[in-house]
Structure 1
Amino acid sequence: MLRASHILCKVDDVRTVVADYTALGFTVEYGSDPARAHNALLWFDAGPFIEFFQLPPAAAALRWPLSAVYGRAAGRRLARWARPGEGWRDLALETDERDLTGVRTALRSARLPVSRVMRGRRTRPDGAVVRYQFLAPRPAGLPFVVSAYDPPQRPARTAHPNGARGVARVRLGVAAADRPRYDALIGADPWLAVEPAPRTGVIAVELAGLERELDQGKLHGAILTSTAGKV
């Protein structure tokens, strides 16, 4: 069963993001050695987490070789991630399986075009190696799928000084033309609030527990609201 895993926010410089979100009262963890990291993670005790990542627009040139190896869905996804600008860029769905072969077979049986399974790895700041798999459906606006992390990554406990306890819901716009494939990809999910939109993608993320207003200038394109309606 697929469920919301994490929301991806494209940023220009991950170190600036870590500094700004720390100043906003969040606890942020680099994905790898801070001196070389290209991503950072904002964990919660349960539910979806947020990943900030940087990727230069020039990386879009890798779309064609990636398409040749893993399929057009993979190349189009990379081009979407690499486009200029900061802000919400994607939503990942997760499964308890460490091998996505069966998931891919099931999605293809549901007539959903998907890439081949891709394998990834990163080395955490403590030196531990994390392995995972992922695959990309078409069109590129649909959420992509990630395997269970090996080893598991969620911290046992995460406290944010600003009171944030977790993602209350993700507002996800789905274009009418994409709705049949979206429904083939994922069923009802307690963290996703799906609404009609001209283009499929994350609209906003609502956080539970925020005790202070967030400075818009430090959010790096992420649209974050609180359950009380404050930004």
Structure 2
Amino acid sequence: MLKCSHILCKVDDIRAAVGDYSSLGFSVEWGSAPERAHNALIWFDDGPFIELFQLPSRFALLRWPFATIFGTAAGERLARWARPGEGWRDLAVETEDTELAGVRAALRRKNVRVSRVMKGKRVRPDGGTVRYQFLASSPAELPFVVSAYDPPQRPERVVHPNGARGVARVRMGVSAADRASFDALVGEGRWLSAEPAATTGVLGVELHGLAADLDPRRLHGAVLTRGPVNDLGTVDDLGRRTR
């Protein structure tokens, strides 16, 4: 029903993170005007994108007001996002619709605990306004749901100097307790590979096309590695296609 939208990496300093990912050969797009942006996006021509975001730990204090307005699942999600530390923090799954009321009703029929639908917007660096909806699932380790962006945001053409062409696989650890809800949300999906784990969360992301391994010291906690080129071969240690 839902497909992988994007993978979120929490960073302590968004400007330092954008600088590091740019130095690693990614084309990074600010989420809003750079002087006030708290997030940045790494797009690909197709499939999931990567979002870098910064959120001070003091935002965890808003958990209970947020829960009162939007539901317990929303408060849990905000607290998870605000938790200290860098690295993969969440996974979003999406629908092609710009409204989430129908998705919410369908998930509730499958006994997935979700928040009320929340409406968001951001102003892009070019001044255009982007609107979207999202809802949080519970427990907060499960993916959350986003609507289609209005207007659509994916660039017509994306080129990364390091050769990255797209997400090959998102390795997602899923606990036994969360498996039924996870399957109701997305299951395996085209880009997701679910693995048994003690706790639910993103384990790593593999990319198509990377010419070389990435320096982990500049990834701000994210596990980001080379994946298969296509179904005909994989990339060896020298970036060559192998059978």
TM-score band w.r.t. shorter chain: over 0.9
**What is aligned with 2:49?**
49
Residues 1:213 and 2:213 are matched in the alignment: yes
- Secondary structure, counterpart of 2:138 in structure 1: coil
Q: List structure 1 runs of 4+ shifted beyond 4 angstroms.
A: none
2:190 aligns with 190
Cα 1:154–1:24 change in 2 (3 A) is same
Report whether the alignment pairs 1:128 with 2:122: no
Q: Secondary structure at the match of 1:7?
A: strand
Partner of 1:85: 85
The corresponding residue for 2:202 is 202
> How far apart, in 2, do the equivalents of 1:213 and 1:171 lie?
18
Structure 2: which 5+ runs fail to align?
A: 228-234, 238-243
Tell me if 1:160 matches 2:160: yes
Q: Determine the C-alpha separation between the residues in 2 that align with 1:229 and 1:51.
A: 27
Measured in 2, the distance between the counterparts of 1:7 and 1:199 equals 17
How far has the Cα of 1:229 moved from its partner? 7.0
Identity within the alignment, % = 67
Structure 1 letter corresponding to 2:170: V
Paired letter, 2:77: R
Match of 2:151 in 1: 151
Counterpart contact for 2:41–2:52, Cα < 8 Å: yes
Displacement of 1:183 in angstroms is 1.3
RMSD (Å), alpha carbons: 1.2
Please name the residue that 1:36 is paired with: 36
Deviations 1:104-126, CA, capped at 9 Å, x for gaps: 00001111110000000000000
For structure 1, the residue ranges without an aligned partner over 5 or more in a row are: none
Secondary structure at 1:60 match in 2: helix
Distance in 1 of aligned mates of 2:167 and 2:7: 10
- 1:15 counterpart = 2:11: no
CA distance in 2 between partners of 1:5 and 1:185 (Å): 12
Instruction: Tell me which amino acid in the other structure corresponds to 2:159.
Output: A
The normalised TM-score by structure 1 is 0.98
TM-score in terms of structure 2 length = 0.93
- The SS at the match of 2:113 is coil
CA contact under 8 A between 2:206 and 2:226: conserved in structure 1? yes
Q: In 2, Cα distance between the equivalents of 1:4 and 1:12?
A: 25
Give the residue type in structure 1 aligned to 2:176: A
Q: 1-side partners of 2:46 and 2:9: how far apart?
A: 19
Residues 27-74 of structure 1, C-alpha deviation per residue, up to 9 Å, x if partnerless? Answer: 000000000000000000000000000000010000000000000000
Q: What do the CA deviations read for 1:121-169 (whole angstroms, capped 9, x no partner)? A: 0000000000000001111000000000000000000000000000000
Task: Look up the equivalent residue of 2:224 and give its one-letter code.
Answer: L
Tell me which amino acid in the other structure corresponds to 1:167: V
